[in-house]
């Protein structure tokens, strides 16, 4: 089987005036279609930096990144936006919902570029929000919801475009254990539906749900890229 995601010698350097911070020192990873992979590693090791590059939210300084044989690292901004919109759903630790929009509008937003008519976008967004158990909260603003509910909105927003790759950076990091488990069961279900999932976590109980754990240390893949 061909990997859906492949990186070779991925490097990211943050330029901070006189100081350069090398966040990624040459990451080689392969992720296969339908895999559920957890990324673990100490704080500051480069996990979010890697996720942002995988999610086409940022670009590497050097190295190559391929999604389905397309070289993402060679793409221009508008091509990146296109691939991000069609193939990737991203879930952040801090939800990143738009505070002034109700949750229905938040979830409709990624469909703006889908070619669907406004009515169809609303139907689709409602369907997904129903699915994550928030059908009775459509007109609520994010601030009127609990953390777990907000994260479920964020997941709904990430999956409304039917991406095959779902990236989540500590999606349960700000949640109590019950809400965290609710969120985790949505990821399990997405995995059962053959989506590829990459999830960063500090919680080994959450990582256990994954089929494989990739450890990152000091901007590099650490030994022990093993299957549980």
Ligand X SMILES: Nc1ncnc2c1ncn2[C@@H]1O[C@H](COP(=O)(O)OP(=O)(O)OP(=O)(O)O)[C@@H](O)[C@H]1O
Q: Which residues bind ligand X (CB under 6 A)?
A: 14, 16, 21, 23, 41, 43-49
14 makes contact, choosing from ligand X, Mg ion, none, with CB < 5 to 8 Å by partner type, with ligand X
3-state secondary structure the chain: CCCCEEEEEEEEEEEECCEEEEEEEEEEEEECCCCEEEEECCCCCCHHHHHHHHCCCCCCCEEEEEECCEEHHHCCHHHHHHHHHHHEEEECCCCCCCCCCCHHHHHHHHHHHCCCCHHHHHHHHHHHHHHCCCHHHCCCCHHHCCHHHHHHHHHHHHHCCCCCEEEEECCCCCCCHHHHHHHHHHHHHHHHCCCEEEEECCCHHHHCCCCEEEEEECCEECCCCCEC
Q: Nearer to ligand X by C-beta: 47 or 84?
A: 47
Q: Nearer to Mg ion by C-beta: 103 or 214?
A: 214
Q: Nearer to ligand X by C-beta: 44 or 224?
A: 44
Q: How far is the CB of 51 from Mg ion (least distance, A)?
A: 8
User: How many whole angstroms separate alpha carbon 62 and alpha carbon 64?
Assistant: 7
195 makes contact, choosing from ligand X, Mg ion, none, with CB < 5 to 8 Å by partner type, with none
Query: Could you say whether residue 48 binds Mg ion (CB under 5 A)?
Result: yes
Q: How far is the CB of 130 from ligand X (least distance, A)?
A: 32
The alpha carbon torsion through 16, 61, 166, 204 (nearest 10 deg) reads: -60
Q: Nearer to Mg ion by C-beta: 39 or 160?
A: 39
Residues contacting residue 185 through CB under 8 Å, at least 6 positions apart: none
Query: Could you say whether residue 49 binds Mg ion (CB under 5 A)?
Result: no
106 makes contact, choosing from Mg ion, ligand X, none, with CB < 5 to 8 Å by partner type, with none
Q: Nearer to Mg ion by C-beta: 23 or 134?
A: 23
Is the Cβ–Cβ distance between 187 and 170 less than 8 Å?
no
112 makes contact, choosing from Mg ion, ligand X, none, with CB < 5 to 8 Å by partner type, with none
Q: Nearer to Mg ion by C-beta: 93 or 161?
A: 93
Q: CB under 5 A: which stretch of 48-56, 98-106, 107-115, 130-138 binds Mg ion? A: 48-56
Q: How far is the CB of 218 from ligand X (least distance, A)?
A: 9
Q: How far is the CB of 48 from Mg ion (least distance, A)?
A: 3
* Residues 180 to 219 in contact with Mg ion, rule: CB under 5 A: none
Contacts with Mg ion by CB under 5 A lie at 48
């Amino acid at each position: 089987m061909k990997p859906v995601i492949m990186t070779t010698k991925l490097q990211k350097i943050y330029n901070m005036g006189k100081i350069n911070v090398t966040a990624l020192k040459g990451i080689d990873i392969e992720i296969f279609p339908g895999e559920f992979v957890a990324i673990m590693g100490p704080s500051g090791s480069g996990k979010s930096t890697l996720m942002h590059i995988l999610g086409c939210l940022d670009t590497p300084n050097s190295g190559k990144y391929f999604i389905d044989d397309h070289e993402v690292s060679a793409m221009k901004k508008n091509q990146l936006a296109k691939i991000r919109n069609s193939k990737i759903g991203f879930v952040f630790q801090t939800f990143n919902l738009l505070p002034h929009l109700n949750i229905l509008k938040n979830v409709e937003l990624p469909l703006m570029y889908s070619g669907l008519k406004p009515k169809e976008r609303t139907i689709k967004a409602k369907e997904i929000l129903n699915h994550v158990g928030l059908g009775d909260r459509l007109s609520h603003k994010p601030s009127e919801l609990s953390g777990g509910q907000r994260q479920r909105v964020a997941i709904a927003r990430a999956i409304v475009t039917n991406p095959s790759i779902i990236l989540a950076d500590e999606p349960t990091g700000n949640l109590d254990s019950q809400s965290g488990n609710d969120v985790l069961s949505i990821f399990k279900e997405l995995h059962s539906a053959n989506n590829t999932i990459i999830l960063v976590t500090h919680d080994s109980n959450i990582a256990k749900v994954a089929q494989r754990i990739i450890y990152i240390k000091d901007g590099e893949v650490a030994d022990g890229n093993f299957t549980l």
